[in-house]
Amino acid sequence: MKAVVCTKYGSPDVLEIKEVAKPAPKENEILIKVYATTVTSGDVRIRRFISPLLVWLPMRLSLGIRRPKKPILGMELSGEVEEIGEHVKHFKKGDQVVAMTGNNFGAYAEYVCLPEDGGITIKPANVPYEDAAAFSFGATSALYFLRQGNIQKGQKVLIYGASGAVGTAAVQLAKYFGTEVTAVCSAANSELVKSLGADYVIDYMKEDFTKTNVRYDLIFDAVGKTSKYICMNELTPDGLYVSVAGQRMAKVHPEDMTFLKDLVELEKIKPVIDRRYPLGRIQEAHSYVEKGHKKGNVVMLVHDEKVKS
């Protein structure tokens, strides 16, 4: 099968399409034919391997000294179950699914094997494969951090970095939970986040949200560019600050994937797609995401080359 292999740490040029062995499912695994995956900020960080000096060595020992121990990157996917292990009970051949591979990566390939009790659910019936591939990473991350911040109906919530994969999901989930949402992003993305439900939008290029004299019950930094210290005066007495900065990927529970799948089908949340690329343009897709200006998600079509950039 074809797969994108990260040959070493570095620029997008280190990503190469190679022929690798097609995996076979173990007794508790399902084999998924991958139709679509995404390029996330996490994929880019692993490929570049840029980290603070104090965590450089531990991270290299964990991920790989000269190249990733798991060279096929990719954290989320959509596809079809092609084969199941003999003990699999919850999925059958032909099921259309979405899945999170998480720290096991592996989604940049034509096929992947995953344990049936992992982050897998049936694909939302109302969206195509390419859109379905794009809701799990951002939405599960947003859900995890909003819950960590004890989000409650009626609160005032500020989401910093509201136009990325995690931010666009967080805006929609915060509105679903019944809060008043202030989104911080660039003016170019203002209409996008308003369309997702944001009540107020702050252009970070023109206005400093820490000087607005508004207090929030929850501040969620979806891009890791602020700090609790900076935001302290913008929190209510019982307010909480949460950030993706310095966080390892949270374990994705199947029930969370099913919850989010149901919200997509109810049209309470929707995946936001910036660009679509064929697998053969993986280097170009990584270069675009690395610039840090994507709106929502960047999708790669694995078994379909007829996509628009």
Shared domain check, 278 and 212: no
Decide if 257 is inside a domain.
no
How many structural domains compose the chain? 2
Residues 199 and 296 grouped into a single domain = no
Domain presence at residue 52: yes
How far apart CA 49 and CA 111 sit, in angstroms, is 25
Which pLDDT score is estimated for 119?
Answer: 92
Residues 176-223 have pLDDT tens digits of 999 999 999 999 999 999 999 999 999 999 999 998 889 999 999 999
The enclosing H or E element of 56 equals helix 53-63
Same-domain pairing of 24 and 127: yes
Domain membership of residue 252 (yes or no) is no
pLDDT at residue number 22: 97
Phi, psi for 50 (deg, rounded to 5): -110, 120
Check whether residue 155 and residue 183 sit in a common domain. yes
Residue 120 and residue 190 in one domain: no
| Residue 132 amino acid letter | A
Same domain? 113 vs 149: no
CB 5, CB 16: distance < 8 Å? yes
Same domain, 19 and 69: yes
Q: Are both 204 and 128 inside the same structural domain?
A: no
Give the whole-angstrom CA distance, residue 106 versus residue 92.
Answer: 21
So what's the pLDDT on residue 305?
Answer: 42
- Closest-CA residue to 108 (of 20, 225, 226, 197): 20
- Residue 190 is assigned to a structural domain of this protein: yes
Residues 123 and 24 in one domain: yes
Residue 294 is assigned to a structural domain of this protein: yes
69 within domain boundaries: yes
Residues of the chain predicted below pLDDT 70: 50-65, 248, 250, 304-309
Position 228 scores a pLDDT of 93
Look at residue 265 and tell me if it is in a domain.
no
Residue 153 belongs to what domain range? 138-243
- Domain of 50, CATH number, reads 3.90.180.10
Select from 243, 263, 280 the last residue of a domain: 243
Q: For residue 171, give the CATH number of its domain.
A: 3.40.50.720
